[in-house]
Structures are given as structure tokens and as C-alpha cells.
Amino acid sequence: MNRRAGPVRATLAIAALLLLPPTIAPAQGLVELRVVRYGTPVEGMVVSVLVEGEPWSVGATGGDGVVEAPIDLVGLSEGVEVVVFEIGCPGGENVLLVPPAESPERACELRGPDGRPCGCAPLGSFAWGGDATIDLGAMAVEGAGPGGRAETVPGPRPEPRAEPEPREPGPPAGVAPSARAPWTIAIGAGLSSWPNLDRGCRLRFRRSVSSCDVDAERPVIRASAEYRLDGLALPISLAGGFGYAPGLEVEHRLADAPGPRDPLRNTVEIDVLTFEGWGVGRYGARPDLDLFLALGYVWAYNRAEATTLFGDLVRSEERDDSGGRIGGRAGLDWWRGERWGVRFQLGGMAGEDEDIDTSWYGAISVLLPAGTR
């Protein structure tokens, strides 16, 4: 019995192969896609597959022009017909595979990273499951899928489609426009306070002062230019600018003068102009928000006009003064788009001048990025 078992089993196996219909073995392994241009391998070409209307990257071709994709790639299954498109965006070309479940028209509606539309051209189709060669020069597709079919679909070369008003490319992800442009221009206004201006009320006259008024809070105009330094471990900038605060005023009122040489009223009006140099440190809290702290040197110039009333006589005189001070400021830059932003800042300076030795200010400025690397 044992000697006859072998031949019987072999006969049954052969009969089963003859009687059962042929079947395709379960899909295993990878599909090799080769991208060439007139037979020459194209290196670095990105191949994507369209999934739910959006391109999903499969990979980029190597030096031999080959990229490998799993046979069960999302959206594809063995034997389905895949349409191949060449997509030409302003930034470069890529190859797009469109499964049957996706609309081929969607391939021609894609846009590049800068928002500009891409051109498209159908190259052909092949049955998924076997290797394929995509020739961008000859605009042809050759495939050896399970059905053994490949079709070349003629079409025009993809050309980037022009936009009536192309948009400027946005800043890189996570980077404010201020970090892209080397210069930032700030122009604004605010309110300044000069707390030591009341020293003028302590002037000595021949008799006591009946009243003294100080107008120490005045509008201030500010402008600056900031240059970002590259190649440093910390984000450091150098800045220069000026500030102008007009119309500071101290007024003394006195009792009736006993004699013609005794003053009735004395008024001092002061205009202050500052020229400033800063070292600025920054911290990017968000892609559109920078926090900054600045320390620097302030050279202040003030022009004063004193008017004294003696009964029916008026005497006026002018004087000016200047000196250096230490200054500081802090605030935030909030970028509201690619071309402009808003700065909120508080600052001040301290020195030794009796009229303007200390001041504080708050200001709002418009920011304008300028220049290119």
C-alpha cells in the first residue's frame, strides 16, 4: 500500500491543476516606476498619487530614475487603470498618478505652494500591478501590468498658466515677514510724559508764586529703521531713529507786581528732539508676533523760549541745550500681512538735564519690511 500512495497523490494533484480555473497570485512586493526623458533617467522627480482630490507623495526618483511604490498603495489595487499626468508648476515639475476613483480634471486644477495654478498634460495610462516607464520627453507610458496593456495619450507640454495678478510668495512657515526682509521701517506716534518738568515751578522770584501750571504730557512723533543681523546665535538687530515732542510748557503766575520791574507771569515753552541708537533683542512668540527689548544711547536736543510779562512790557529770550542719555524700550511687533505690521512699545530715557532729564512714552507705529538678501 505505501508504495502505491505516492503515484496516486501525484496523479490527483495533476488532475486538480488541469480541472481548476487559473487564478492570479495574491499581490506582493513593490511596483517600480521609472521616469525618463527621451530614455535618460530623471533624478529627483517627485511622483504622487491623487487621493480625495489632493496629491499624496509616493517619493522622488533616484539617480536611475526609479521610485518604488507598494502595490497596495492607497487608492490603487492590482489591475486598475492608472492615468499619468505631468504637472508643471512655476516651482518645478512632478508626475501625478490618477486612480479610477479620482477625477482626471482635478489634476489640472492643482496649484503650487505659492498659490499660482499649475499646467498639466496627460501622458498615458497603464494597468497597476507591474512596472512602468514614464517618458516625459516622448510623452508616453509603457507598462507591464497584469493586463499587459499600456496606452499613450498625446497631449501638449505642460506650461505654467499665467495669473492676471500673481501673489507675492508668503514667508516660510513659522517665520514672520520681518525675519525675511533685512530692514524694518517703523513710523508712528504716541504720548510722552516728562515728570521732572515741574522743577520749573521751584524757580525763585522776588516774591512767592501764586500758581504754577505744567503741561508735561505731549504728543510724540517717532520713526526708526532696524537692520537684522545674520549669522549670530541670538536674533539681534541694530536700530536708529528719532523722536519729536513739541510744546512742553511751564507757566508761573504771580501776585500783582508792586513795581514795574517785578514780573507778573513767566512762561517757558520747550520742544524736544531726540536722536537714538539701539541694540535690539527679539523673541518670536508666534510666526506673526515678535517680542523685543532694546537698550541704547539717546542724544537729546531741546529748544526753550521763555516769555516774561512785566506789567505792560513783554520780554522774550531763547535758549537751547543738548546732552546724552541712556534709553530703553520694549514692546511687540504684530505682523498683519506680508507687507505691513503694527508695533506697540513703551520706552524712556534718563539723564541730568534739569528740564528733560527723565521721560516716558507709549507709541503705536506702522511697520514696513524693506530690502532683500
Q: Of 314, 302, 322, 329, nearest to 260 (Cα)?
A: 314
Q: How far apart are CA 187 and CA 278, in angstroms?
A: 16
- Predicted TM-score (pTM) above 0.85: no
Instruction: Please tell me which residue, 295 or 101, carries the higher pLDDT value.
Output: 295
pLDDT tens track for 28-72: 578 899 999 888 999 999 999 988 888 888 889 999 999 998 888
Q: Of 58, 87, 80, 79, nearest to 70 (Cα)?
A: 58
C-alpha cell at 106: 482635478
Highest mean pLDDT range out of 82-91, 183-192, 196-205, 308-317?
Answer: 183-192
Backbone angles phi, psi at 98, to 5 degrees: -115, 110
pLDDT at 33: 92
